[in-house]
Amino acid sequence: MIQILENVDLQRYNTMAVPSVARFFCRATSVSELREALAWSQTQHTAQYVLGGGSNTLLDAEVNGLVIRPEISGWEVVGEDKDVVYVCAGAGVVWHTFVMECIENGYFGLENLALIPGHVGAAPIQNIGAYGVELKDVFHTLQAVNCESGELIELSKLQCEFGYRDSVFKGRYKNKQVITSVTFSLSKAPRVSVQYPALIEELAKSNVLTPTPRQVAEAVIRVRRRKLPAPETIPNAGSFFKNPVVCEDFALRLKAEYPQMPQYDAANKRKKLAAGWLIEQCGWKGRKAFGVKVHDKQALVITNPNRVDVGNILELAASIAADVKLKFDVSLEREPKLLSE
């Protein structure tokens, strides 16, 4: 039986270390406990919020409802064929730990996604991606509980409607389904993806010409540690803005005016711009404002060293976005979402 706690401090449950208090809070270590928590919120006529690793979430000072923390643990092989192994992981499994354990067991495909903070259950919502690989590339199915009925459903890759840092859980299923487990389609053969420039450069430094999956993961970890602060020492939510995607004609005009601007091919003959570069050109890298700071090694990261309120963070983000819009006529979209959203 679940334990409903009252007036719980959530600061340690979000990597931005925003001070926040939940009116009600509980942990769900199984599907049955999750159903129980959802039913409790319905009988009490209170709002419900799901908070996983808290690495891509901004919390309000007060959360007036039930905050549910899915802590369904463990992973197992649920099937395989000649080339592929299907690995199912609980929503509460720490993402990076899972990635490294898969590599250790000879299940490949997750290497480029090493050291991304958070839990497995949040990965499909964001369609997490890094260094040329996205979650959808290794995704097979997931299971989720319907918030109203408690029904356990299974969704395929197509049904998840994955896009750039996007999925059906940010749209039609937002606040309607809670992910309980994710099954991945991983390769038995050590196939690696090293097309991303920063990764190629890092491997070249070590004179690695034909990297193993473990060497790719280790290179990713080194790059991330150099560029991104560890949340446990400098509170942050990772990349604070999405890389904007613009039409090809507009991208060409920008390139003519700013020849050094990084641009990457995107779907439907569009171009992806580097949000960090745009922010840096506006002079925000390493700057402090509203008690918050833009990281001095990566302008895409907003840090919260003083552990201030979320309002301060949003003010800084709005100022950055306004400057980028003024200089480049490009709109930045915030990546971490408010729990209340």
pLDDT digits (tens, 9 = 90+) for 215-235: 999 999 999 999 889 998 999
3-state secondary structure string across 49-112: EECCCCCCEECCCEEEEEEEEECCCCEEEEEECCCEEEEEEECCCEHHHHHHHHHHCCCECCHH
Q: Which fold has domain 5-70?
A: 3.30.43
Q: pTM for the full model?
A: 0.90
- Is pLDDT above 90 for 260? yes
Could you list the active site residues?
A: 165, 239, 335
Residue 43: the pLDDT is 95
pLDDT digits over 269-287, tens only? 899 999 999 999 999 999 9
Banded pLDDT at 196 (limits 50, 70, 90): confident
Percentage, residues of the chain above pLDDT 70:
100
pLDDT 10s digits, 105-161: 999 999 999 999 999 999 999 999 999 899 999 999 999 999 999 999 999 999 999
Q: Is the pLDDT of residue 341 over 80?
A: no
Instruction: State pLDDT tens for residues 70-108.
Output: 999 999 999 999 999 999 999 999 999 999 999 999 999
- Supply the pLDDT for residue 84: 97
Domain boundaries along the sequence of the chain: 5-70, 75-187, 197-227, 236-335
What is the predicted pLDDT for the residue at 191? Answer: 86
Q: pLDDT value at position 79?
A: 97
CB 237, CB 57: distance < 8 Å: yes
Mean pLDDT (whole number) for 1-16 = 95
Per-residue model confidence (pLDDT) at position 161: 97
**Does position 206 have pLDDT exceeding 90, yes or no?**
no
Mean pLDDT of 242-249: 95
pLDDT score recorded for residue 209: 85
Level-2 CATH architecture, domain 75-187: 2-Layer Sandwich (3.30)
pLDDT over threshold 90, residue 249: yes
Averaged pLDDT of the chain? 95
Given a contact cutoff of 8 angstroms between Cβ atoms, the answer to whether 202 and 222 are in contact is yes
Full 3-state SS string of the chain: CCCCEEEEECHHHCCCCCCCEEEEEEEECCHHHHHHHHHHHHHCCCCEEECCCCCCEECCCEEEEEEEEECCCCEEEEEECCCEEEEEEECCCEHHHHHHHHHHCCCECCHHHCCCCCEHHHHHHHCCEECCEEHHHCEEEEEEEECCCCCEEEEEHHHHCCECCECHHHCCCCCCEEEEEEEEEEECCCCCCCCCHHHHHHHHHCCCCCCCHHHHHHHHHHHHHHHCCCCCCCCEEEECECCCEEEHHHHHHHHHHCCCCCEEEEHHHEEEECHHHHHHHCCCCCCEECCEEECCCCCCEEECCCCCCHHHHHHHHHHHHHHHHHHHCCCCCECCEECCC
Q: Is the dihedral of CA 160, 133, 166, 39 positive or negative?
A: positive
**Cα gap 54→338, rounded to integer Å:** 11
Tell me if 331 sits within 8 A of 244, measured CB to CB: yes
| Domain range 236-335, CATH architecture | Alpha-Beta Complex (3.90)
- pLDDT average, residue stretch 188-216: 91
